[in-house]
Structure 1
Amino acid sequence: MQVLVGTCGFPKSRRAVYSALDAVELQETFYNMPNSERMAQLRREAPEFRFTAKVFQGITHSPNSPTFKRTKGFKPGENHGMLKPTRENLQLWEQFAEAVSPLRPEVLVFQTPPSLKPEPYIYDFFTAVMGKWRLAWEPRGETYGDLKLIEKVAELGVIIVVDPLRREPTAARHYYFRLHGLGGREVNYKYKYTPQDLQKLASIIKRLDGEEAYVMFNNVYMYEDAVEFKRVYSSSV
């Protein structure tokens, strides 16, 4: 299985990240709709690099989410967000997919907020947007507890994102892991992964069958942890 190690965003210069790691998940595409020329520029400067992208929050988050404070040129309406299969959301998805396409991202990542309830319409939304792109969904909060809903969405071909140090991955062809730190809360961005953590992560991934796994660090020390994990995993294979 091919294991691709990267970070959520660019914690160092782009040149340093391209040189040391395998992949980057763009975060700017979450806060604002992608700029097509910017996407093309990134692809030109790293033709063989693996990019993934976090889906625009206008599709995934509530219109009153505080994260919209960083959004320019878009004001969400009541029919936007929370993976509702509304005309407005589906139009926004088409705009997003077209704008991000020059990047040629390997995976488009939907991260939903903990406030999202496990509504049946989530399945309808993913049914409507399946097609050209490989999609991944990171359910959080109460939604993650609805295993029937998650299984139905996975059956569509959507990758279910987990942190394998917190939850056992379900067998699949493709894996996408996002690591937000360890501790009592769902995220702990200030956490620094220990050598024991990284060894455990490597052993979990080595037991999996599949075609590929993205291992994406999303903590303050993401670059250092990703570089070290890549070394640990390579030496353990």
Structure 2
Amino acid sequence: MKIVKIGCCGFPVSRKKYFKEYSVVELQNTFYNLPSKEWAEKIRSEAPESFEFTLKAWQVITHPHKSPTWKKLKTKPPGDPENYGWLKPTKENVEALRKTIEIANILGSKIIVLQTPPSLPCNNDSFEWINKFFEEARSITGDKYVLGWEPRGEWAKRKDLLEKILVKNNVLHIVDPYRADPLNIVDNIIYYRLHGIGRGEVNYRYKYTDEDHEKLVEKLLSLEYRTAYIMYNNIYMYQDSKRLKEILSSKQDIQVL
């Protein structure tokens, strides 16, 4: 039987309430400022044993130091700022990934989300360095973790180059299901991040309709997978995720968590 896990990117309600109503969350604070081991231990102890944490990888791995998001960093990472971001195979990025994995290990997380910005160049040079980064990353994570990549900008459009990297390095392709289908699935997992429907890549103010949800349900019924993650990342994530749960719960052959 297919399993569909529905959750939110971050906590739209108190953690206590969220843990009672959901089976999974994608942590967002891990992106802006990697939390302490003590914080990870605390939140893991607050949640039910069966609750799953996925996490968005530390921004210094994916976003260059000139990115506006770096302004939210409380402590600048060590080393040369130029060597951070854009999935470069530098010692700085690799060490930042190791630190992210340390937090994932405490949380019992399996899936680590790497979301790259539209500013990431899409050319032969970046193709080579991203390949090298994922080769190094896979040597660190082994089979214990699933690395997922959600590219933005030109990389999201260049399916030929993107698929080569994903398949070669066994990287899960993370997409918004209303914009694209995954080019690579890992461990029979599909991972969707829903950013709202609109002209651009994100429209956080969008509220999904029942018609939107039915289209997603049709896709979930037709695709082959073992576990699908539906992670809402819009202003109405709490209401929208609840509604999808209601609609999916009436369908046979799918277990909704």
Band the TM-score falls in, shorter-chain normalisation: over 0.9
For residue 106 of structure 1, report the CA deviation from its aligned partner.
2.3
- Structure 2 distance, partners of 1:70, 1:204, is 37
Identity %: 43
- The equivalent of 2:155 in structure 1 is 143
- Structure 1 distance, partners of 2:146, 2:131, is 16
Indicate the SS of the match to 1:233: helix
TM-score (norm 1): 0.95
- Structure 1 distance, partners of 2:245, 2:132, is 37
- Structure 1 distance, partners of 2:69, 2:245, is 31
- The equivalent of 2:182 in structure 1 is 169
Per-residue CA deviations over 1:155-192 (Å, capped at 9, x if unaligned) read: 22211011111213346321110000001111000000
For residue 99 of structure 1, report the CA deviation from its aligned partner.
3.2
- The equivalent of 1:224 in structure 2 is 239
Equivalent pair of 2:173/2:184 in contact (CA under 8 Å): no
Q: Structure 2: which 5+ runs fail to align?
A: 253-257
Runs of 4+ off more than 4 Å: none
Compared with structure 1, are the counterparts of its residues 117 and 32 closer, same or farther at alpha carbon in structure 2 (3 Å cutoff)?
A: same
In the alignment, structure 1 residue 215 sits paired with structure 2 residue 245: no
1:176-191 aligned within 5 A:
176-191=191-206
- Structure 1 distance, partners of 2:183, 2:217, is 16
1:64 to 53, 63, 66: 66
Give the stretch that moved more between structures: 218-227 or 121-130. 121-130
1:35-54 aligned within 5 A:
35-46=36-47, 47-54=49-56
Indicate the SS of the match to 1:193: coil
Q: Tell me how many residue pairs correspond in the alignment.
A: 237
Q: Structure 1: which 5+ runs fail to align?
A: none
Per-residue CA deviations over 1:97-136 (Å, capped at 9, x if unaligned) read: 1233211112000000011123211121111101232111
- Structure 2 distance, partners of 1:219, 1:103, is 24
Indicate the SS of the match to 1:137: strand
1:123 to 131, 141, 145: 131
- Structure 2 distance, partners of 1:66, 1:171, is 30
Indicate the SS of the match to 1:236: coil
- Structure 2 distance, partners of 1:219, 1:195, is 16
TM-score (norm 2): 0.88
